[in-house]
Amino acid sequence: MPLVVAEPADACGGQLRTSAAGAAVLVVRGNCTFTDKAAAVQASGGAAMLLYDSQPGGCITMGFEPNATAGLTLAAVSIPHELGLRLLGLAAAAGGGAGGTGEAHVSLRRVSVPLVDTGAVLLWVLAVGTIIGGSLWGGLDHLAHRRAGEDQAPLIRAAHKPAAAETVDLTPKAALAFVVLASCMLLLLYFVLNKAFFYVLLVLFCIASVQSQTVLYAAALGQLLPPARRNAHVQLPWLGATPLTVVATLPLAVAVAGVWAVWRNSSWAWVLQDLQGVALMLLVLRTLRVPSLKVAAILLPACLAYDVFWVFIQPLLFGGGESVMVHVAQGGSSGEYIPMLLRVPHFGFGGLGGYSLLGFGDVILPGLLLAYTRRADLDLALLPGSSGGSSSSGGGGGCAASVQQALKASYFPYAVVSYGAGLCLTYAALAFSWFGDQGQPALLYLVPCTLGTVLALAAARGQLGLLWRGAHGPGGRAGDHDSDAGEESALLGLGEWRA
């Protein structure tokens, strides 16, 4: 069908100034409702309306009141800003211009979009895998730290005692302050997120990425080296004695961050962005901790309220405008995706492009609770009389019974399953547009699933008070154990994964 550029460009005013019989009409967003634009195009004889945003970004959702589309029979299609500009150029080159048909033609086809996209599945695997990895890594550190404090294990204490600055415990006040700070940062990004400020974020992200990648790669390399070389150091100018593993892996981390920063808008750049994001989140889950279920029960509902407010409530308070959070997630006026999210292409969308997105907070915040349940499982297994610390008899039956008993006494496996289920609920909410088309606050589904599961299990087992106070640590147990960090490593099959 012929391509027509609307005149006026926004198709507001009730009628186009030129005929568009049987044509696809290119319309820019703004100044009137989507249904008013569609009615004007149809009144001029248009067969389709191609709506693009006036600001850089992807497709916009055309919202409208119930029954507002009565009488409209044309096709209304939302297209990205960049595609709209390309079509404007094609129309101008063909001699169409504003209000003219020229020689430019377009065709529309309806693409069958799968209910479950392969990209969304990969994003689910990345999120769940990151939480599992970060929780297990933090669990190894936690157990090594406990062993380092035991008088009956001086060799382990000397070899594995972590530095005091390696972990930071959140307090209830800090949990609430985090939500206030996050809101302030969100507003700051909303008002100042232009191209220049984006480059500031880009530099900060790359610095954090290099640090987290180096820690991760150095820890992995340390497991591949012979024991005698794991703690080797080399003398560097201005830096002094530096671990050999850090010297060997730092160039790789810098290369990954640099290549991504330069080619971040390439079709393959999402792989490097997600690699950096996973490394950063693993380090956060290793070092930032909630010390008790009480702190988690304050932090997560507060963050849920923050998420729901900025996605659902804030647009209603300000006249049904755009969500601040959605605006920031799409990069504002910078025309770039902010780097603090996981991004996977829509592989199954028939070449339509676009990405499945998941913010770091939707992984880290529930991940703090899951990492806590992993540490709690390790502590509870070492309590006097706990079945988790006893050895089982040999044979396949004894092993199966031991695994079954461990599952009955654990929290972490159930928390992982609940997080995965919550993420599936988030996908369902997006697919079926629960509560509207303006995006979904993932924490609305993740927090009840994860926190609710842990609270219910703790209450059913009579351990709610113990976990609520975080009283399952060294102060609440006897000091007689049979396992050590090496046994934990053998159980996980991962070795001591440390920097």
Query: Would you please indicate which residues are annotated as catalytic (active-site) residues?
Result: 307, 362
Q: 279: which residues sit within 8 A by CB, 6+ positions away?
A: 209, 212, 213, 215, 216
Domains in the chain: boundaries: 3-93, 118-492
Cis status of the peptide bond prior to 8, with omega within 30 of 0: yes
Distance linking the first and last C-alpha atoms of the chain: 62
Angle, CA of 358, 246 and 123, to the nearest 5°: 15
Q: What percent of the chain has pLDDT over 70?
A: 78
pLDDT, tens only, 115-152: 677 888 999 999 999 999 999 999 998 888 877 765 44
The tokens of 382 are what? 């070492």
For residues 102 and 23, give the distance between their C-alpha atoms in angstroms, rounded to a whole number.
11
Residue position matching structure tokens 């994003």? 123
Give φ, ψ of 344 to 5 degrees.
-130, 135
Torsion of CA 333, 444, 308, 123, to 10 degrees: 0
For residues 328 and 85, give the distance between their C-alpha atoms in angstroms, rounded to a whole number.
22
pLDDT, tens only, 397-408: 566 666 677 777
Q: Look at residues 344, 335, 340, 338 and name the one whose alpha carbon lies nearest to residue 80.
A: 335
pLDDT, tens only, 283-321: 999 999 999 999 999 999 999 999 999 888 888 887 656
Please say if the pLDDT value at position 445 is more than 60. Answer: yes
pLDDT, tens only, 101-111: 557 787 777 77
Are residues 272 and 259 in contact, defined by beta-carbon separation less than 8 angstroms?
Answer: yes
For residues 242 and 235, give the distance between their C-alpha atoms in angstroms, rounded to a whole number.
6
Mean pLDDT value of segment 234-247: 84
Give the CA count within 13 Å in the CB-facing half-sphere of 460.
Answer: 10
Sign of the C-alpha dihedral, residues 14, 20, 24, 25? negative
Which pTM value belongs to this model? 0.76
State which fold the 3-93 domain adopts: Glucose Oxidase; domain 1 (3.50.30)
